[in-house]
C-alpha cells in the first residue's frame, strides 16, 4: 500500500513507523495479527497484496467489513461497503483458497498437512 493512501485511510498514520514497529515486534518474537477494513473504491485492489505480504512475514491477518452506518459526518460509509464474499471472490483469482474454519491459525500458521499459510477463513500457497 502506498504511503499516501495509508495516511488517508488512517487519518494520521505514518506507514514507515508502523512497519518499523511491526519489524521490532517480530524480532521480539511477538505474535502479530493485522486487521484491515475492506473499503470499496479505497483499498479493495490492495487487499491481495496485503494478504500475501502478511503471510510472507508470518503475520495473521483479518479482513473486516466496514459497518455501513450511513452519513457519519464528512464520510458516507455506505458507499465504501465491500462484502467479504466479494473480497473472497477477488482473492480466489490470485490464490487457491481452501476453507479452514475448523483449524486454528494461532496454533499453527501453516495448514495442517501442507505448507500453505492460513488466515482466519482461508489459506493459500504463496506465489512460488
- Give the pLDDT confidence of 8-56 residue by residue, as tens digits: 888 888 999 999 999 999 999 999 999 999 999 989 999 999 999 998 8
Let me know whether 13 and 46 are in one domain. Answer: no
Determine the 3-state secondary structure of 120 from DSSP: coil
pLDDT at 95 (0 to 100): 84
Nearest to 106 by CA among 96, 120, 121: 120
Co-location of 58 and 20 in the same domain: no
pLDDT at 103: 47
Whether residues 82 and 105 fall in one domain: yes
**Hey, how many other C-beta atoms are within 10 angstroms of the C-beta on 47?**
20
* pLDDT of 128: 43
Grid cell locating 117: 499459510
The three-class DSSP label of residue 116 is coil
Q: Are 66 and 23 in a shared domain?
A: no
63 and 120 co-located in one domain:
yes
Q: What is the pLDDT of residue 109?
A: 47
The reply to whether 21 and 39 lie within a common domain is no
- 64 beta partners: 37
Digit-coded pLDDT (tens) for 47-103: 999 999 998 898 888 888 887 666 666 666 778 889 988 998 999 898 877 765 544
User: Are 3 and 24 within one domain?
Assistant: yes
Answer yes or no: do 79 and 38 share one domain.
yes
Domain hosting 112: range is 31-124
Amino acid at each position: 500500500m502506498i504511503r499516501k493512501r495509508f495516511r488517508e485511510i488512517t487519518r494520521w498514520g505514518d506507514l514507515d513507523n508502523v512497519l518499523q514497529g511491526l519489524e521490532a515486534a517480530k524480532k521480539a518474537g511477538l505474535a502479530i495479527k493485522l486487521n484491515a477494513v475492506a473499503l470499496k473504491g479505497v483499498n479493495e485492489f490492495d487487499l491481495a497484496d496485503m494478504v500475501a505480504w502478511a503471510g510472507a512475514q508470518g503475520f495473521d491477518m483479518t479482513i473486516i467489513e466496514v459497518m455501513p452506518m450511513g452519513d457519519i459526518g464528512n464520510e458516507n460509509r455506505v458507499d465504501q461497503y465491500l462484502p467479504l464474499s466479494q473480497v473472497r471472490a477477488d482473492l480466489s483469482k490470485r490464490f487457491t483458497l481452501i476453507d479452514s474454519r475448523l483449524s486454528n491459525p494461532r496454533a499453527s500458521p501453516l495448514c495442517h498437512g501442507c505448507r500453505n499459510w492460513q488466515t482466519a477463513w482461508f489459506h493459500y500457497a504463496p506465489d512460488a
